[in-house]
Amino acid sequence: MPAYNSIFNNDPNPPRLIGNFPILPLRTKTRGPAYTLPIPNPPLPAAESPDPDSESYDILDEVISLFRANTFFRNFEIQGPADRLLVYGIWFLSDCLHKIKPHASARDAQKEVMNLALDLNFAIPGDPGFPLNQMYEAPRDRQDADDETKPSKWWLSFTKRKFMGKAL
């Protein structure tokens, strides 16, 4: 049985790519390079995500819903650019879970995950220290690459992970 792939690979409107990494829409109130999806009406409880058929379903919902099933697979066939984002998101989610201690309070766990998300020392695709450069392309030109002196907060949410037997 193969691993579960992203439903966003079938999107009729291809996403903007940086290298071969897609910028998919997100359900958020924060402005950024990704398009914003509408908030579900009526609002969902914090622990629930919308159905995959909903217009509010985003790649982060998919990462969370496919995390448990896909972590049991040692191989993953990439069928489109959304799968690269799915793989990277699963790696990040797994790394977050590795940072949380078994007997930590909710506040300590939240603090550990926030520190991981805000960590400035990580490699992005195209950097020599990035472990999966054969799977991810570097940005094509200077405009796609961030010129800022600090990493973009949009990349910080997708950092180091252990999935498919590899850690970033």
* Mean pLDDT for back-to-back runs of 10 residues, the chain (168 residues): 89 83 87 83 79 86 92 90 91 88 89 89 77 78 56 53 62
Q: How far is CA 25 from the centre of its chain?
A: 12
- Residue 114: is it exposed, middle or buried by C-beta count within 10 angstroms (0-12/13-18/19+)? exposed
Q: Which of 1.10.1760.10, 1.10.3430.10, 3.40.50.2000, 1.10.3720.10 is the CATH number of 7-167?
A: 1.10.1760.10
- The domains of the chain are located at 7-167
Strand, helix or coil at 108? helix
Measured CA to CA in angstroms, residue 101 lies from 63, 67, 95 at distances of: 22, 19, 12
CA distance 54 to 71: 25
Does the predicted model carry a pTM greater than 0.85? no
